[in-house]
A and B are shown apart, each in its own frame.
Chain A
Amino acid sequence: MSTDRQRVDVRKTYKLFIGGAFPRSESGRSYPVTDAEGGFLANAARASRKDVRDAVVAARKAFPGWSARTPYNRGQILYRIAEMLEGRRAQFVAELRATGLGKGAAGAEVDAAVDRWVWYAGWADKLAAVAGNANPVAGPFFTFSTPEPTGVVGSIAPDGPLLDLVSALAPVIVSGNTAVVVASEPAPLPAITFAEVLATSDLPGGVVNLLTGRRAELAPWLAGHMDVNALDLTGVAGTDVKPLAEAAAGNLKRVFRDPVRADAEDPGTARMQAFLEIKTVWHPVGV
């Protein structure tokens, strides 16, 4: 027996992320993911429409708890996610390099993703101050408007495997929404690794649910699901938007599809506000 043999590595099995667990697709299907040169990387789970429904159930179940957390607590958990992401920096650099990025570019993207997440973490306890209002009505009433999460948000993530994903996901959950995300189809692996970050960050199970597979197969079920409140179509190409937005009209989902401002130092608040409701409360003043 030779002593200088190379160690046989233990390879990772990439699965879905639903309700805080990592199941395979109930369909039993997978699809091969390749690197930029066409070399085999892994078999990613190919989620089914049943997986979409399971993910929505998990997201709905998690919504009351997550939205009821104090903004301070949500900010703490989001910051913890950034800590975990930073800790796995080398792993993400390696995964991004497999998608074709050079070493410097991959490192820069991971850094930007961490910074982006930290930026959003700080918003949790400031949103109400910026998006809320005391309304000076013409009468003896105390009238105020506060932002609230809209509910379960279905998201078709853009193709940037890490920074784009982070830029689309953080603004959804920071305010208390829960999410069902369809990851990039060609480069899904960093998304699942990111789910491992989420799973070790005190983020309650079900707040983020992540599916890999065929966008065209999954998106229509998410868009038409009657228990999804909003739809982020950022990752959907031009002509595919119309049928999905039409399906979203079934229960009058809020539809959002602005490009992620991945390069911006300050991506603005529009993406957070797109998934907020404004609640106006009136109370008489007097004795």
Chain B
Amino acid sequence: MDLFAYAPAPESRDVVDIRPSYGLFVDGAFTDGGGEPFKTVEPATGEALAEVASADAADVDRAVAAARRAYETVWGPMSGRDRAKYLFRIARILQERSRELAVLESIDNGKPIRESRDVDLPLVAAHFFYHAGWADKLGHAGLGADPRPLGVAAQVIPWNFPLLMLAWKIAPALACGNTVVLKPAETTPLTALAFADVCRQADLPPGVVNIITGAGETGRLLVAHDGVDKVAFTGSTEVGREIARTVAGTRKRLTLELGGKAANIVFDDAPLDQAVEGVVNGIFFNQGHVCCAGSRLLVQETVAGEFLDRLKARMATLRVGDPLDKNTDVGAINSAAQLARIADLADAGEREGAERWSPPCDLPGRGYWFAPTLFTGVAQSHRIASEEIFGPVLSALTFRTPQEAVEKANNTPYGLSAGVWSEKGSRTLWVAERLRAGVVWANTFNKFDPAAPFGGYKESGHGREGGRHGLEAYLEH
């Protein structure tokens, strides 16, 4: 045992009441689904948490019809000032229930309570607060004097930040006067269903927000539905492509937040300890289940040896385990399928000749776990340098000149995010300007804010979420 071992400090589960089964939330009420119900699993144990309804075609019809009705009769005609008040109410209720929602998120998703409590929930509330203020000021958003809502928005979100992605989708849509049908990921539906209850507590008019659960097929039915005016998706580039094809040639507007393979570039004059911390945060935050994760470390050759030594020392202090333990840094992998994908790509890294390293760490005996992993000696042609792994796996490459760093960083079909570490401002800006990525973090990483637009270049997607620019996705102008 270590000299300074931490005693377990588990967060109590008592604040959460998980029901044995959940229905769909349509037109302000929970209802059964026509599809085959499915189980949502606690990633930290592998045990089923609850049975969740699955929406079939008729359910999707019902939800879209409810959203249409609410759009035409209540939400569309409502003044921006009143819409704002509903959004402010929701934001407040989210703050009031933040501990319950954070614990529920960690149970259903596997992410550390430290992150759901300190990152996810504050940002979820902030997104509703931020957009609430826009609802009666849309004419000032730079999109013309009289921008109008699009109508019914179909929204499909991923499992990595279930409630945060819900907030990113629902808050701007509602602020702009649209109504929504949202489908959460099948592995993490519980906080979305809890959000349905938040809507009820806020007395949000029925049909303004509809939550339909189900797997890929439910999402396909929703996206392809004739009754929706807008499609918003966050998830893999592969599914994004499929959705772009489905929407092609229709009147539907489309925004996509897709995958990434972000470079984190460390120059020799970088503050190395801060850079180590940023690189660790960049890839091991949320178990690396982050589309903008800094999964490709590009470190200047002159400091590579020293930097990697410090990085390994820091990685050795990461605490992997119970997501509800307040000391935990890295929680559980979200699902068995995701764990298998991560393991497969990591094996490919070894097979292709990169050197694999993980700190000694005891992983729990049950549930889905993957130790923080660093690959050195990585070449640009390796799969681990080009494919999104979506797990706690970092690939380290080196460079000699700023030009080479930029070229290597941009050598990807993705373009979501990047990091730059250097003390020299002119160099940082020079690099940031040349990186083909929608978000560039300089001397920091994985920072998010509702006031800052987020979104990708190239195959990382279309459009921006957040800020003034994010409103464009939900307005006709």
Contacts and interface: CB of A to CB of B under 8 A. Distances in A.
Interface stretch (A20-28, A159-167, A180-188, A274-282): A274-282
A177 to B, nearest CB: 13
A252 B455 CA distance: 13
A273 B451 CA distance: 19
Contacts of B458: 151, 229, 251-252
Contact of B438 (A138, A273, A277): A277
Contact of B461 (A141, A252, A273, A284): A252
Given A278-B455, A281-B440, 11 more contacts: A133-B453, A137-B447, A137-B451, A138-B451, A139-B447, A143-B452, A243-B249, A252-B244, A254-B462, A279-B439, A282-B447
Per CB-CB distance, the 6 closest pairs between chain A and chain B, nearest first, are A242-B249, A245-B248, A249-B244, A137-B449, A135-B452, A246-B248
A249 B248 contact: yes
Contacts of B248: 241-243, 245-246, 248-249, 255
A145 B469 contact: yes
B443 A280 contact: no
**Interface residues on chain A, size class:** 35 or more
B444 A280 contact: no
A252 B452 contact: no
B245 A249 contact: yes
B341 interface: no
B477 A270 contact: yes
Interface string A151-178: 1000000000000000000000000000
Interface of A: 130-131, 133, 135-139, 141, 143, 145, 150-151, 229, 241-243, 245-246, 248-252, 254-255, 268, 270, 273, 277-284
Given A242-B249, A281-B442, A141 B447 contact: yes
A245 B248 CA distance: 5
Contact of A278 (B249, B442, B469): B469
B472 to A, nearest CB: 8
B373 interface: no
Interface residues of B, number: 42
A264 to B, nearest CB: 13
A145 B428 contact: no
Interface of A is mostly: mixed
Nearest to A257: B249
B396 to A, nearest CB: 23
B284 interface: no
Contacts, number: 109
A282 B258 contact: no
Interface of B: 126, 142, 144, 237, 240-241, 244-245, 247-249, 256, 258, 413, 428, 432, 437-444, 447, 449, 451-455, 457-459, 461-462, 464, 467-469, 472, 477
Contacts of A282: 439-442, 444, 447, 452
Contacts of B142: 130-131
A280 B241 CA distance: 24
Contacts of B477: 270
A28 B221 CA distance: 48
Given A138-B449, A252-B258, A277 B432 contact: no
A270 B458 CA distance: 20
Given A145-B467, A279-B439, A281-B432, A246 B249 contact: yes
11 contacts: A139-B447, A141-B447, A143-B447, A248-B244, A251-B413, A254-B462, A278-B438, A281-B432, A281-B442, A282-B441, A283-B428
Contacts of B449: 135, 137-139, 143
